[in-house]
Amino acid sequence: TQLLEQSPQFLSIQEGENLTVYCNSSSVFSSLQWYRQEPGEGPVLLVTVVTGGEVKKLKRLTFQFGDARKDSSLHITAAQPGDTGLYLCAGAPGNQFYFGTGTSLTVIP
Amino acid sequence: NAGVTQTPKFRILKIGQSMTLQCTQDMNHNYMYWYRQDPGMGLKLIYYSVGAGITDKGEVPNGYNVSRSTTEDFPLRLELAAPSQTSVYFCANRQELWIAGPGFGSGTRLTVV
């Protein structure tokens, strides 16, 4: 059983379209992180959300933390080919640090 | 994250062989982690450490061992390699802030044949 479930697992869209990736858990987190990973590289931290209901924007990326701090979403507006990659949510219930199942995004020019 | 260095970058092992994946940091963080990642998937936690001399199991510890004799080094040992251990292995460190996320090394791609 995965602590953090992401959906969808795979997403292939045309350049300019919008998309949303979801990260869900039955556990409460004090904070959640979103990472982006490119092939052959380690994950790179995009953002940390810490307050229930919080919304953070990073250019065309909008991150939201659920009110109950059990879920989060990532919305990309007007996707570009450079957004292609594996998106991972992550969080720490205690000293462990767990990652979600991942969403592989392909943006077609 | 230039602060976490992993060696080797690539390795091919035969079934039953053993090896140690090296991980060292120059950031003096107490928290360190080992993950494995299969193609197109998320990362699964193998072992973690909250300081020198302290280690604990993660989600998938079977077939692996770790040690943490110093703050800087956190090696991962594979005994009796099996094809199921073919994966990319990432080491990471993390500050002791509850909002901090890990920073990663560049990974070790291991193939067991």
Put simply, the answer to whether A42 touches B101 (Cβ < 8 Å) is no
The DSSP result for chain B, as a single string, is -TTEEEE-SEEEE-TT--EEEEEEESS--SEEEEEEE-TTS-EEEEEEEEETTEEEE-S--TTEEE--SSSSB--EEE-S--GGG-EEEEEEEE-S-TTPPPEE---EEEEE-
Contact list in B for residue A88 (CB cut-off 8 A) is: 42-43
Structure confidence by residue, pLDDT tens digits, B72-88: 999 999 989 999 999 99
Put simply, the answer to whether A33 touches B101 (Cβ < 8 Å) is yes
Compute the half-sphere exposure of residue B45: CA atoms within 13 Å on the CB side of its CA: 26
Structure confidence by residue, pLDDT tens digits, A62-90: 999 999 999 999 999 999 999 999 999 99
pLDDT band at residue A1 using 50, 70 and 90 as cut-offs? low
Supply the pLDDT for residue B1. Answer: 46
- Chain A CB within 8 Å of residue B35 CB: yes
Could you tell me which chain A residue has the CA closest to the CA of B100? Answer: A48
From A98's Cα to the closest Cα of chain B, the distance in A is: 7
- Is A59's pLDDT higher than 90? yes
Contact list in A for residue B42 (CB cut-off 8 A) is: 2, 4, 6, 88, 99-102
Supply the pLDDT for residue A47. Answer: 94
- Chain B CB within 8 Å of residue A6 CB: yes
Residues of chain B with pLDDT under 70: 1-2, 97-99
A68-93 in b/e form (b: 16+ CB < 10 A) is: ebbbbbbbbeebeeebbbbbbbbbbe
Contact list in B for residue A87 (CB cut-off 8 A) is: none
Q: DSSP H helical segments within A40-79, as ranges?
A: none
Supply the pLDDT for residue B98. Answer: 65
